[in-house]
């Protein structure tokens, strides 16, 4: 199987390539960025799988994935990342990626997943895809008090101050103060913007 592996971290590339080549069934060609991948795809015979680092130069988020999917179709293209979250993984799969591999995967699991995708199957680790964002993991939860988070949750549901006050049994004037404070902390222009920031961050 011929694998194109692209990652701007040389050590990561070489480590993954070494694991794959030790299996004896893989020929791995390595590149450090998206432009070199695009040139390689024009110059080489088709690869059985293209594996792209989500944050390497030239990727511009999932736009890079879209480009390579178009260039290699119907050959499989997958993402690998040490930082991307579940939402990014889901979006990549929706756009047509063959899979998503966190760099934290054990070597044997990584090799098996790459074999699986090179044979035309889709892969994403179940534990990663089903993992909920823990309170301590979410940076926004470290900025806000428990009461401010409660108020922000109500804002994402479109509740007015009076309704929030009734729901969490506080005075309306206190709710106004919490809204003002939490907006300042998360740099929101107003309550609607605050709700939008919370939703986009996957907080609720």
The pLDDT confidence band at residue 136, using thresholds 50, 70 and 90, is: very low
Q: How many residues does the chain have?
A: 204
DSSP H or E stretch at residue 64 = helix 63-72
Tally: H helices and E strands in the chain: 11, 5
SS3 160: coil
Q: Which of 158, 168, 156, 163 is nearest to 200 (CA)?
A: 156
Who has greater pLDDT, 189 or 25?
Answer: 189
Q: Is the pLDDT of residue 152 over 60?
A: yes
User: How does the average pLDDT of the chain come out, rounded?
Assistant: 89
The pLDDT confidence band at residue 138, using thresholds 50, 70 and 90, is: low
Delineate the domains of the chain, giving CATH numbers in brackets.
Answer: 2-130 (3.40.50.2300), 136-200 (1.10.10.10)
SS3 42: helix
Do residues 50 and 4 lie in contact, with contact meaning Cβ atoms separated by under 8 Å?
Answer: yes
**Cβ neighbour number for residue 54 with a 10 Å cutoff:** 21
Give the percent of the chain with pLDDT over 70: 96
Distance CA 21, CA 31 (A): 16
SS3 11: helix
Mean per-residue pLDDT, 23-41: 94
What is the pLDDT, as a whole number, of residue 137? 56
Mean per-residue pLDDT, 24-50: 92
Tokens read off for 166: 């009734």
What is the pLDDT, as a whole number, of residue 133? 47
Q: Is the pLDDT of residue 95 over 60?
A: yes
Torsions phi, psi for 78 (to 5 deg)? -130, 160
35-41 contacts: CB < 8 A, separation 24 or more? 36/6, 37/4, 37/6, 37/68, 38/67, 38/68, 38/71, 40/4, 41/4, 41/68, 41/71, 41/72
Mean per-residue pLDDT, 67-83: 92
- The reported pTM is 0.64
Who has greater pLDDT, 5 or 133?
Answer: 5
């Amino acid at each position: 199987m011929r694998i194109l592996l692209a990652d701007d971290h040389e050590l990561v590339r070489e480590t993954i390539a070494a694991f794959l080549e030790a299996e004896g069934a893989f020929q791995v060609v390595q590149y450090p960025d998206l432009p070199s991948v695009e040139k390689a795809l024009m110059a080489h015979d088709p690869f059985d799988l293209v594996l792209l680092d989500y944050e390497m130069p030239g990727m511009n988020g999932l736009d890079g994935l879209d480009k390579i999917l178009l260039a290699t179709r119907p050959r499989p293209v997958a993402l690998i990342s040490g930082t991307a979250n579940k939402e990014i993984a889901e979006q990549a799969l929706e756009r047509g990626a063959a899979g998503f591999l966190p760099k934290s995967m054990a070597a044997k699991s990584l090799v098996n997943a790459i074999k699986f995708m090179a044979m035309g199957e889709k892969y994403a680790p179940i534990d990663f895809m089903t993992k909920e964002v823990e309170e301590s993991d979410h940076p926004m939860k470290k900025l806000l008090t428990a009461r401010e988070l409660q108020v922000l949750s109500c804002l994402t549901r479109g509740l007015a101050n009076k309704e929030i006050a009734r729901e969490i049994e506080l005075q309306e004037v206190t709710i106004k103060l919490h809204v003002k404070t939490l907006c300042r902390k998360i740099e929101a222009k107003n309550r609607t913007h605050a709700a939008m920031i919370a939703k986009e961050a996957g907080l609720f």
